[in-house]
Amino acid sequence: MFIGHFTERPYQDPKTGLFGGAGRPIHDLNLSNAMYDPTVGAALYNRYLDERLYAEEVGFDGLMLNEHHSTPFCMSATINAEAAILARITRRAKIVLLGNIIPIWDDPLWLAETLAMIDMISNGRLVCGWVRGTGRESLAHNTPPTYNWERFVEAHELVIKAWTTPGPFRWEGKHYQFRYINPWCLPLQKPHPPIWLPGVASKESLTWAAKRQIPYVMLATQLEPTRQAFQLYHQIASDEGHHSGPQNLAYLFRVHADDSDDLAEETARKYTQGPVNPFLQEEDSQAPPQELTLPGLAPRSGVLPTGQAARAAFRTPPLMDERMVENYGTIAGTPKSILPQIHHVLEYLRPGSIFFWDGDGAMTHEDQMRSLRLMGAEVIPTVKQMGQELGLLSPFEVG
């Protein structure tokens, strides 16, 4: 089993009255960066890097990075910069990018070169992930959402060819044209770094991944719809003549370990305080409707079971209430109390890779470090044993 760590790296500045506590709700794409303090941002970037170093030290197999734009709930506007730093200062953990928003960029060749350098600097520890992005990315970067899927597929094919086909060669596609492709930096991993795909709602994306045996990562979705979507992945793979298993499935879920159950509950409530993902907040904090319904991004047909339940999964009721505990939406407690819940998730979904989402919202550095310490000492070793007993092999354990 592969166990990774994830956080959104939110912007926290309690003195503004907006961040770092309950504060006022964030209306996505309606908050001016006049409130941004680069001094605070500089300290936070270094804090989050320090936490990633400690996550590797305590035993996490992977450090998951994501990217969003023009929003305070995720400070990373370029995961490749973070990945390049981690490639040099870490030694063992995989650097998992979930992922680069390839439809919004006009130069996939630049991306191929950047990622190849990161793979070499890390000595072959890069895991690439592509994402289509949310409405905020298309709006903020003036990218036509109607071509989002076409650009996604073509950019993927261009990057893979740049990595695997000797140059020089031309590329004359619908959305990208290059008269000369001959990158003088190629990935250390052969034929190329692993490609993973995260998602929530799009059946089209899951089908694309299943046909190519690309591991699919469900992002904090409800358990039963997630199991149904994973079964669909297996069925599509089988129809294509592929044998899929736990190595093709991954799941991100909120898990926090603490010194007592009371402290864990108090800390877990901070997931929905401060600059958290708007989809995790209540009605008055949702993203603008236009962001959620852009043509080409909002699935109008072929929605996964997880997509049908996504509103409930991402617009979470207050943390740690009865529904959240029953639905495993957030798992928080001492190692002794959370391990049976983690086992249930593993047994129910059977993913070969999991990511613990922690240290988010208004959680402090101290909150995160306590959890990481306990994860390393008591949680990760036991979860590894659970994975072995359940036969949950990751892609790195299957040839």
pLDDT of 281: 46
Position 396 pLDDT exceeds 60: yes
Residue 170 and residue 79: Cα distance in Å, rounded? Answer: 28
pLDDT (tens digit per residue) in 301-349: 678 888 766 544 444 444 454 555 567 889 999 999 999 999 999 999 9
Range(s) of the domain holding residue 19: 2-390
Element (H, E) at 118: helix 108-121
pLDDT of 31: 78
pLDDT (tens digit per residue) in 53-102: 999 999 999 999 999 888 888 899 899 999 999 999 999 999 999 999 99
Position 125 pLDDT exceeds 50: yes
Task: State the residue for tokens 């960066």.
Answer: 33
Contact assessment for residue 261 and residue 333, using Cβ atoms and an 8 Å cutoff = yes
Domain annotation covers residue 397 = no
Nearest CA to 269 out of 202, 189, 330 is that of: 330
Position 122 pLDDT exceeds 80: yes
pLDDT of 204: 92
More confident residue, 226 or 281: 226
CB burial of 97-118 (b: ≥16 within 10 Å; e: otherwise) equals bbbbbbbbbeebbebbbbbbbb
CA distances from 128 to 80, 83, 95, 115, 341 (A): 10, 11, 8, 8, 29
Domain annotation covers residue 125 = yes
Tokens of 22: 């309950």
Element (H, E) at 195: strand 195-199
Residue 64 and residue 357: Cα distance in Å, rounded? Answer: 9
Question: Average of pLDDT values for 154-171?
Answer: 98
Average of per-residue pLDDT values in the chain: 89
Domain annotation covers residue 158 = yes
Domain annotation covers residue 337 = yes
pLDDT of 142: 75
Nearest CA to 31 out of 70, 76, 77 is that of: 70
Domain annotation covers residue 347 = yes
pLDDT (tens digit per residue) in 59-71: 999 999 999 888 8
pLDDT of 283: 43
Provide CB contacts within 8 A for 160, sequence distance 6+: 192, 195
pLDDT range class, residue 197, cuts 50, 70, 90: very high
The 3-state DSSP class for residue 64 equals: strand
pLDDT of 287: 58
Question: Average of pLDDT values for 26-33?
Answer: 73
The 3-state DSSP class for residue 255 equals: strand
**Pair type for strands 62-65 and 94-97:** parallel
pLDDT of 70: 83
CATH number at residue 134: 3.20.20.30
Nearest CA to 282 out of 236, 244, 316 is that of: 316
pLDDT range class, residue 291, cuts 50, 70, 90: low
Tokens of 192: 């190329």
CB burial of 221-243 (b: ≥16 within 10 Å; e: otherwise) equals bbbebbbebbebbbebbeeeeee
pLDDT of 282: 43
Residue 225 and residue 217: Cα distance in Å, rounded? Answer: 14
pLDDT range class, residue 27, cuts 50, 70, 90: low
More confident residue, 143 or 213: 213
Q: How many domains does the chain have?
A: 1
More confident residue, 249 or 327: 249
Domain annotation covers residue 396 = no
Domain annotation covers residue 238 = yes
Domain annotation covers residue 399 = no
Q: What is the DSSP string of 72-107?
A: TT---S-HHHHHHHHHHH-SSSEEEE--EEGGG-S-
pLDDT of 299: 63
Residues paired with 285 in a beta bridge: none
Position 138 pLDDT exceeds 80: no
More confident residue, 48 or 15: 48
Position 143 pLDDT exceeds 90: no
pLDDT of 71: 82
Position 258 pLDDT exceeds 70: yes
